[in-house]
Amino acid sequence: MNETTILFTREGKEYKGKYDVDGKKRSITTKQVCPKCGGRGYGPWFKDGGICYRCGGTGDGGWKVERLYTAEELAKLNERAEAKRLANAEKKARKLSERLKSIRAEFGQLIDEATKLKSENDFIADVLDRINTYGKVSDKQIEALKIAVAKTKEWLAKKAAKGEAPSGKVHVVAKILSTKTVRSMYGSQFKMLAELDNGATVWGTFPNKLFDLIEGELKGAAIEFDADFEPVKGDATHAFFKRPTKVKVAKRNKGEQLIIS
């Protein structure tokens, strides 16, 4: 072979060292490499920082024959490899399409309902993504998807029936839904979630005064207070509040609605 011929490794890197020609007139080079790590000297499966325990990280330890290619040979090789890759990808896509058709034939209605709700529920979005990516779904996933769809539809229906949460400095009458201790880098705070008469919800600091005003269970108690409210971005039915004042237990007759004043 002409000494001026430019040769490349299979990865496309130009080779400038010495080389030989084998019995089939192919350009080759031989180099000493470790058979365990392939000459890399490390590997993610090795302990002690990834260093190969056979060669000690040097990469040496045996002779390896490496094929060299001219630009034309490399181009043809890459062309064949790309054609094979495309053929395999097409075959894989056909199989996926067949599996998806089979899944839709059995669960098409459920998948359509779930698709409409995926932006509202991360679990639904994840299951649909797995189905569309792998064309597989288990019986347990289908059952879980049915439950998630039903609960999300119920949640959306309740949300649609809610009124708008207050904004700014407002006096409200509300029912305590739940309380929770929230810990942060600034310490612990006792918070509460409350519901207004129009269905809107508010979340904020639990007024300590209520511990003296309410005897027994906090959940379900009707209260009224002033506070600074800030509606949640993207959800006008929920607001955060801070600095609650003028706190007292709401007085109302049986069946009387809670009113935002």
User: What is the CATH classification number for the domain harbouring 209?
Assistant: 2.40.50.140
Domain boundary among 160, 177, 212: 160
Task: Please check whether residue 88 lies inside any domain of the structure.
Answer: no
**Both 134 and 172 in a single domain?**
no
Structure tokens at 34: 């470790």
Query: What are 123-157's pLDDT values in tens digits?
Result: 999 999 999 999 999 999 999 999 999 999 998 98
Q: What is the pLDDT of residue 89?
A: 95
Give the chain's domain count: 3
Residues in Cβ contact with 234 at an 8 Å cutoff, skipping those fewer than 6 apart: none
Indicate whether 108 and 150 sit together in one domain: yes
Helix H or strand E segment including 14: strand 14-15
Phi-psi region of 48 (alpha: psi -120 to 50; beta: other; left: phi over 0): left
Closest CA to 59 of 78, 90, 35: 35
For 68-115, write each residue's pLDDT tens digit.
999 999 999 999 999 999 999 999 999 999 999 999 999 999 999 999
> Could you list the residue range(s) of the whole structural domain that residue 150 is in?
93-160
Q: Determine, yes or no, domain membership for 83.
A: no
Say what the pTM is: 0.55
Q: What is the pLDDT of residue 54?
A: 72
173 with 242, same domain? yes
Give residues with Cβ within 8 angstroms of 18, minimum separation 6.
29
Segment of 21-25, 39-43, 145-149, 219-223 carrying the highest mean pLDDT: 145-149
155 and 172 within one domain: no
Burial of residue 102, with CB atoms counted within 10 A of its CB: 0-12 exposed, 13-18 middle, 19 or more buried: exposed
Residues 172-195 pLDDT 10s: 999 999 999 999 888 899 999 999
Distance CA 31, CA 21 (A): 14
In a domain, 100, yes or no: yes
Q: Helix H segments across 34-138?
A: 71-117, 122-134
19 is a domain residue:
yes
Query: What is residue 260's predicted lDDT score, i.e. its pLDDT?
Result: 40
